[in-house]
Amino acid sequence: MSRIGKQEILIPAGVKVRNDGGIFTVTGPKGTLNRIFRDDITIAVADKSVILNIKRNDKFSQSLWGTYASHIKNMIKGVETPYQKKLILEGVGFKSEVKGKELHFALGFSHPVIVPIPEGITATAEKNNITVSGIDKELVGNFTAAIRALKKPEPYKGKGMRYENEVIRRKQGKKTV
């Protein structure tokens, strides 16, 4: 049984929640989020809360119960305060800048790397600090991970792109006799 799914999800003031035939919509001061949920879980919207109940008592439905509760909590939190992730670019000659709706990187390759910024996300680049923010937690996390994958931090000098509070385990390198 899901402990997360059993809990009642409170709806704060200024946030509107609707469930229309499997399409769950959350509207708040920062924007609107939509998500399609399977009908294995019933989602009941009351005045100030959302309650999730399980239809069938099989393993798959039980696994969806807590997952759907977490998705709904993240949607409600996101339309109130946007999610934010920060990346730090370390290395000599590594640069980042935002031009229009694109991120331009110089990552030590023979060519510049250009990444389009998806709709619903704002990105800023100040010196070697990149900040990605948006109301959809999943979209912000996926986009940040895709940017980090362009140049992962290496363990010898720590060069590359890392999250703000990520700790890179350093290796000793070659020893001389």
Write a three-state SS string for 101-131. CEEEEECCCCCCEEEECCCCEEEEEECCEEE
Which segments of the chain belong to CATH 3.90.930.12?
Answer: 3-80, 83-163
**Beta-bridge partner residues of 24:** 19, 35
Strands 102-106 and 113-116: antiparallel
Q: What is the pLDDT of residue 177?
A: 66
CATH architecture observed for domain 3-80: Alpha-Beta Complex (3.90)
Report residue 154 as tokens.
Answer: 């290496």
What's the pTM value of the predicted model, to 2 decimals? 0.90
Does 83-163 carry CATH code 3.90.930.12? Answer: yes
pLDDT tens digits, 58-112: 888 888 999 999 999 999 999 999 999 999 999 998 999 999 999 999 999 999 9
Q: What is the pLDDT of residue 1?
A: 60
Contacts of 174 (CB under 8 A, 6+ apart): none
Among 90, 78, 11, smallest CA distance to 47 is for 11
